[in-house]
Amino acid sequence: MTYHLAGDSTVAPMKEPERPMSGWGQFLGDYVDAPVRNLAFGGATTESFIASGSWDELIGEVRDGDTVVIQFGHNDQKEPELLASRGGYTDRLRRFVAETRARGAVAVLCTSCERRWFDGDAVTPTHGDYPNAVRDLAHELDAGLIDLTVFTTWLYEDLGDEASRGLLSHYAPGETAAWPEGLTDNTHFRIEGARKVAAFVARSLRALERRDGDGPTMGSALMA
């Protein structure tokens, strides 16, 4: 069995020149007992993942019993005419699930990792209807769902504004060669944050697999 990852920069493998910025997919292999194949890339939408050939590349290697983990939304929301939450976005996600199942594999949908935008002690939601559209689609298709919007919101709020900065790409001047003048980025993880999310995804996948093996459906969002 192999885990295949489709997604954007918050999932994508680390680019060494940008170290320690990383997507959570970089570290999923440290928490699961199966190979991980990560085709996510920065700036990806459900549409550009298809247009670039990445989806064909991914699905072409999917085998019976594999799992395909799918997380988009960050960039889809920037193209609301083509990729509306209840239109082009979910149409493409529905295609991904159907083609995954046609291969005898399991599709798991993820809501987007939340951006770390605090208003007082609370994180401000930034993805509009897109997380709800994924939740509803997972319910409609009886597909596995990992709610990373809820998890990352909880993670940031539990740590608080100051401490949660250590999970994202906040770099002081001179801290990293990639951004010698420093960086304040509340979307992209550094290694510490990517590992936290990867560990949660792995735990959620195991819970979904146990649930599926016992007979009940895999459509529920998971929290830990």
pLDDT at 217: 33
> For all residues of the chain together, what is the average pLDDT?
94
pTM of the model: 0.93
Report residue 223's pLDDT band, with 50, 70 and 90 as the boundaries. very low
Residue 149 lies in a domain: yes
Residue 223 lies in a domain: no
Q: What is the per-residue pLDDT across 14-35, written as a single tens digit (0 to 9) for each?
A: 999 999 999 999 999 999 999 9
Number of domains present in the structure of the chain: 1
Q: What is the per-residue pLDDT across 64-99, written as a single tens digit (0 to 9) for each?
A: 999 999 999 999 999 999 999 999 999 999 999 999
Report residue 216's pLDDT band, with 50, 70 and 90 as the boundaries. very low
Q: What is the per-residue pLDDT across 109-151, written as a single tens digit (0 to 9) for each?
A: 999 999 999 999 999 999 999 999 999 999 999 999 999 999 9
Q: What is the per-residue pLDDT across 150-180, written as a single tens digit (0 to 9) for each?
A: 999 999 999 999 999 999 999 999 999 999 9
By residue range, what is the domain housing residue 43? 3-214
Residue 220 lies in a domain: no
pLDDT at 91: 98
Residue 224 lies in a domain: no
Q: With beta carbons less than 8 A apart as the criterion, state whether 13 and 215 touch.
A: no
The pairing of strands 106-110 and 144-146 is: parallel
Q: Collect all residues with Cβ–Cβ distance below 8 Å to 221 and sequence separation of at least 6.
A: 135, 138, 145, 146, 147, 150
Q: Decide if pLDDT at 181 tops 70.
A: yes
Residue 172 lies in a domain: yes
pLDDT at 72: 98
* CATH code, domain with 161: 3.40.50.1110
Q: With beta carbons less than 8 A apart as the criterion, state whether 156 and 190 touch.
A: no
Residue 42 CA to residue 162 CA, distance in Å, equals 26
Residue 221 lies in a domain: no
Residue 67 lies in a domain: yes
More confident residue, 217 or 66: 66
- 215 burial (CB, 10 Å; 0-12 / 13-18 / 19+) is exposed
Rounded to an integer, the average pLDDT of 53-62 is: 98
